[in-house]
Amino acid sequence: MEKELAKNYNPQEIEGRLYAKWLNKKYFHAEADKKKKPFTIVIPPPNITGQLHMGHALDNTMQDILIRFKRMQGYNALWQPGTDHASIATEVKIIEQLKKEGIDKETLGREGFLKRAWEWKDEYGGRIISQLKKLGSSCDWDRERFTMDEGCSKAVTEVFIRLYEKGYIYKGSRIINWCPVCQTSISDAEVEHEEQAGHFWHIKYPIVGSDKFVEVATTRPETMLGDSAVAVHPDDERYKDLIGKMVKLPLVNKEIPIIADAYVDKEFGTGVVKITPAHDPNDFEVGKRHNLPEINVMNDDATINQNGGKYEGMDRYEARKLMVKELEEMGLLVKVEDHVHNVGTHDRCKTTVEPLIKQQWFVKMDELIKPAVEAVKKGDVQFVPERFDKIYFNWTDNIRDWCISRQLWWGHRIPAYYCEKCGEVVVSKDTPDKCPKCGHTHLKQDEDTLDTWFSSALWPFSTLGWPEETEDLKYFYPTDVLVTGYDIIFFWVIRMVFSGFEYTGKAPFSKVLIHGLVRDSQGRKMSKSLGNGIDPLEIIDKYGADALRLTLITGNAPGNDMRFYWERVEASRNFANKVWNASRFIMMNLEKAQTGDSIDPKTLTDADKWILSKANTLVKDVTDNMDNFELGIAVQKIYDFVWEEFCDWYIEMVKPRLYSDTDETKGSAIWTLKQVLTISLKLLHPYMPFITEEIFCTLKEMEGKNADDESIMISEWPVYEEEFAYQTEEEAVEIIKAAVKGIRNVRTDMNVPPSRKASVIVVSENERVRIIFDNSKVFFATLGYAAEVTIQKDKTGIPADSVAAVIPEASIYMPFADLVDVEKEIERLTKEKVRLEGELQRVKGMLSNEKFVSKAPEAKITEEKDKLEKYTNMMAQVMERLQHLSK
């Protein structure tokens, strides 16, 4: 039995079936093939703890659009998938699970914990992958990788050893972000800055040997326990004579120096700042310049340590309250100002992050970053849109050494071993048999693991087999495009760029396509706390993946945030229905008159040539837009063409030919319908893969081909063809369209129902225009609701009461009597006049009633005045129309 499209479009019925077919046919799989040009995208690896959210949906839809587009263009397209082990996120989840079971992480021990972590990965790691499949993602799932699989782990160890041997990796004490709850250092990427209402406490620091003091303002009074100095600007005239003197540190009862440093902003606050090198990154740098002691006053859980004297053991905020109270009692608290400032919190547990000086492993960045800077300056790596290179350079210009160690168990363990006898550090792929310095055989591996970003920085090449010189690496690397959100440029993109140059000598990709966030309809960021998150899977279940994908890309511009509206999902679903129903209509007519793959151009009408020419131009425009990553602009052009030009105009134009048994151009109409439908489906496929595949394969089966062996995703992308550039015919049909729109506007203004036909007389002195209307009489009559069409050079014989629609180079006349039954219209208008007289009498009566005017609310009075104006205008129109008809 020949396949046909179901009566109604049902995405739930087609999507799972088609995706299974694509997987079975290995359409997503790519192998190195030197006869074809490669095109590679690596997926930003989602966390194994992840649940598909709108950001993932947008990011992966954009990648899928590009990969499907390039695949159809004949590229050997590889979309490399995989997941990230996400050290902290995963560890937090597992600890939560253990707590429910009454198990303590420390009691379980490292080996037991890691066993549970791998079990977690096996159970939940594939969840987001299955969700990406529901979205239609055409990744090469045969190549799926994991940041802690054997190959990626080998690459991580290799990189650590290489950097260590070059002197780029070192262990030292520097300021890092510390989470007191998770008890680990965290990267800048995991610190969320949020505005919080706080205070500026103004405190007197007495100057030793005088009765004077300097006034210091701070947002964190508890850190003053670790102050090593106070600083002023060297050019600040107010304090020049104090430089080199000592102040007494309140509450601690010790003397610290007044130093001069250009870091101090003379205009901000009092112009005097406290310097706490162990608790502030800027103070740390000042401390290094002035050789100041680094005094850490906090334990890992953010309680005060033994350096805090009598405050030892107190929580940081508890100590703050007590210290402020005591300063006030001592007369050293000048004032407290309200102050809104950005506070860093850990994105996982929402705890306020504490900048602390810690012994950690770091990557020295000053040399590593140089090629990454040059690559963007020279254009070897380009941002789309270009403005994001400013953010990139802002980060590279202010680069700090990268803290790569984490106090976690889940992750790549640092390949450093310590001799338990002499303390020698040995960095090695495997546990050394003995200490190279003293020969002792007991060496213990470093307890810390590496920052998750350390492994994901290698993702574009570690997934292709590096450090081995594999065929895949040689063929698919460097990759072509990285698609990511603007919130991750610094943390991931830059690290991949400098890593690519350091280990492969090449940039990992040539383009970085940046997208914005998907916000709610009010423009707010989607979050659990606001409860405004929208689950993409719910949309897929209700409306289908194609509707979600189209919604996410319509109106989307690179780098810009977009708002999510349910109405737009409905509109996308309506568009899918429009495409489906138009396809069914075309297929029903194809069955009646089979046509071949070619046509004699002489048999094509102006209407056929118009739509073929429009489709041809669309192919060129859409291809250009997609090559320039203007995905939102491209799909809007496809949408407008399919809905308006093809469905609303051309299909209506050809219906008289399709329904005629004698029209000799019927075959040309059917061939054109099939041709334009196929082009439209192909252009639409990267955006809406499922519906286009179902229609395309059904079309192929109607042509006698096996639908199982056919797929739109491996068909050829349309190309612009000069032979289908019909400029003259395009102009001709646009004239007809203008005339039809003019007729429809007149009829709408006069409330003429579509069922009422009228004689239409086209008047034009231009012979070319008259020929155009003559050639298009059949469909012009249908679209213009014409009982008959007359084409003439002048106004001879046109009834005096005719109404006209004017277009360039022609006027279109319709006898008034054809449009309106005069007696019935007079009767209708007379009734309307009586109704309006009643309404006007009522409104005027109310507004002239002083009791009503004095007591009624202002809004009610305004409402009645508006009604008076409205009914007065309506009455004037009715009277004018009655007067005209009575003539």
Please enumerate, by residue number, every residue annotated as part of a binding site for ATP. Answer: 528
Residue 116 φ then ψ, to 5°: -65, -35
Pairing of strands 191-206, 213-218: antiparallel
| Contacts (Cβ under 8 Å, ≥6 apart) of 221 | 201, 203, 320, 323, 324, 327
Between CA 177 and CA 400 the distance in angstroms is 13
Phi–psi pair at 202, nearest 5 degrees: -95, 120
Distance between CA atoms of 639 and 265, rounded to whole angstroms? 55
Q: Which helix (H) or strand (E) holds 638?
A: helix 631-640
d(CA 51, CA 130): 10
From residue 321, alpha-carbon distances to 152, 590, 714, 819 in Å are 49, 82, 68, 86
To which residue do tokens 């298009």 refer? 776
Question: What is the helix (H) or strand (E) element at residue 218, kind and residue range?
Answer: strand 213-218
> How far is the C-alpha of 826 from the C-alpha of 887, rounded, in Å?
11
Number of residues assigned to the chain: 887
Q: How far apart (Å, rounded) are the C-alpha atoms in residues 323 and 326?
A: 5
Radius of gyration over alpha carbons of the chain, in Å?
Answer: 37
Indicate the helix (H) or strand (E) that contains 110: helix 105-124
Going through 236-381 in order, the beta strands assigned E by DSSP cover 246-249, 254-260, 272-275, 333-346, 354-363
Q: Which of 395, 364, 26 is nearest to 188 (CA)?
A: 395
Question: How buried is 423 (Cβ within 10 angstroms: 0-12 exposed, 13-18 middle, 19+ buried)?
Answer: exposed
Single-letter amino acid code for the residue at 406: R
Q: What angle do CA 606, 611, 615 make, to 5 degrees?
A: 145
**What φ, ψ does residue 299 adopt, rounded to 5°?**
-80, 170
Take residue 162 and report the two structure tokens written for it: 């290489």
The CB-side HSE value for 541 (13 A sphere, CA atoms) comes to: 6
Residue that has been written with the tokens 């309680």 in this structure = 303
In the chain the first and final C-alpha atoms are separated, in Å, by 66
Quick one: how many helices (H) and strands (E) in the chain? 29, 29
Q: H/E element holding 383?
A: strand 382-384
Token pair 């046919």: residue: 25
Q: Token pair of 638, please?
A: 């496809």
Nearest to 764 by CA among 732, 809, 697: 809
Binding residues: 528
What tokens appear for 227 in the block?
Answer: 């102050």
Amino acid making up residue 236: D
Q: If DSSP codes are grouped into helix, strand and coil, which group holds residue 780?
A: helix
Tokens of 234: 């060297």
Cα(638)–Cα(621) distance, rounded to whole angstroms?
A: 10
- Classify residue 360 by burial, with Cβ atoms within 10 Å: 0-12, 13-18, 19+: buried
State the alpha helices, DSSP H only, in 358-470.
Answer: 370-378, 388-397, 452-456, 459-462
